[in-house]
Amino acid sequence: MALRYGLNPYQKPAHVFVQQGQLPFKVLSGAPGYINLLDAFNSWQLVRELKMVLGQPAAASFKHVSPAGAALGVPLNDVLRQSYSVEDLELSPLATAYARARGADRLCSFGDFAALSDIVDAPTARLLGREVSDGVIAPGYEPEALEILRKKKQGKYLVLEIDPTYEPIEIERRDVFGVTFEQQRNTLIPDARLLENIPTQKKELTPEATRDLILAMITLKYTQSNSICLTYNGQTIGIGAGQQSRIHCTRLAASKATTWYLRQHPAALHLPWKSSVKRPDKANAIDQYLRDDLTPAEEKEWETFFSQVPVRLEAQEKEEWLSNLQGVTLGSDGFIPFRDNIDCASRYGVSYVVQPGGSLRDGDVIAACDEYGMLMAFCGVRFFHH
């Protein structure tokens, strides 16, 4: 299949092909690009494995070959429906999964590629239809859902149908600088068996914690390394991807989780919007409302979104609100080398940790978890993805 271009517009020609058989997907609308397909195939594997292991509809919101969010179809309460801007929609379990995935990081999900584990129904298509998104991949589409999606972006919205029975060949290859790399495909699918080695004093895993630990591991498997993933109640709430230092991954994930939770503060939910403000502008404006470092020019522009200038949250108000966030799970794609990651995580409601283990300082990390009353599992496997 010919593509518009490669990673950049000047990289032509560009194609995709398989060495055996037929391409495992169909283009139902739009024209795929190189990056579209990288996001599509990575995100499809993520939601397929979530559905396979956890048995619930799953969704992912991808940007630049890493998830901005991933989630299961766990029902939303009224606060989250409002925070995710879906209070006016009928939500099926699949639509709920995408609302959660998209709501995890609304700023980074702008212009995302969506992946859905199940046949797309009309409620999910309506939600996709009003978000700024570049495309979607799923195993099928109900006729009404496909009609809705084919109208998006004047017919240019990319709709891909993946063969759910497709299994790639065991050996995968890619070329870098004229040199071909070859390896066995990563076929390990994380499940509860990887959570049996618990070296901390706290050892009792609830079903919800087990679910969120598995969600973190599968998400990390398809996130550019180094990476840290924070999960809560069936969804990611903060992902730190592609950083050279693990503590930077942890800080980035924690920062995103902070924004996610502060967006549910009553002050953020009831901002005095002007009626003309569009959905993407609201997402950006809420992010600016929660920031403490706006420049005078940003402040002036930000004020134009409101019928009256909102009162900003004080630092103490933010801290008090964040103190209510408890029971968060942290997953690490590689071993945690220093306890500073745990010290940082303790400030953001983390109660459960999963990591490969194997660091020279495992003892220090275990001791830190015990200090904070965290449960930590050594899964024994690394989830690097490049």
Active-site pick, 51, 63, 265, 318: 63
Nearest CA-CA partner of 131 in 192, 84, 78:
84
Instruction: Report the C-alpha gap between 377 and 375 in whole angstroms.
Output: 7
- Check if 63 is active-site: yes
Distance CA 236, CA 232 (A): 6
265 given a catalytic annotation: no
Contact 212, 231 (CB under 8 A): yes
What is the rounded distance in angstroms from the CA atom of residue 222 to the CA atom of residue 255?
A: 21
| Catalytic residue (one of 64, 153, 202, 282) | 64
341 upstream amide cis, omega within 30 of 0: no
Strand ranges, E, within the chain: 25-29, 58-63, 66-72, 112-116, 133-138, 158-162, 171-176, 179-184, 227-232, 235-241, 328-332, 350-355, 375-378
Cα–Cα distance, 129 to 20 (Å, whole number): 35
Alpha-carbon distance of 176 to 324, in angstroms, equals 47
Out of 36, 42, 226, 341, the active site residue is 226
- Report yes or no: 213 and 354 within 8 Å, Cβ to Cβ: yes
Greatest extent of the chain over all pairs of C-alpha atoms, in Å? 62
Residue 5, class by beta-carbon neighbours within 10 Å (0-12 exposed, 13-18 middle, 19+ buried)? middle
Judge whether 270 counts as a catalytic residue.
no
Q: Which residue has the tokens 């991954």?
A: 249
Is 77 catalytic? The answer is: no
CA–CA separation, 67 and 188 (whole Å): 19
Positions annotated as catalytic residues are 63-64, 226, 386
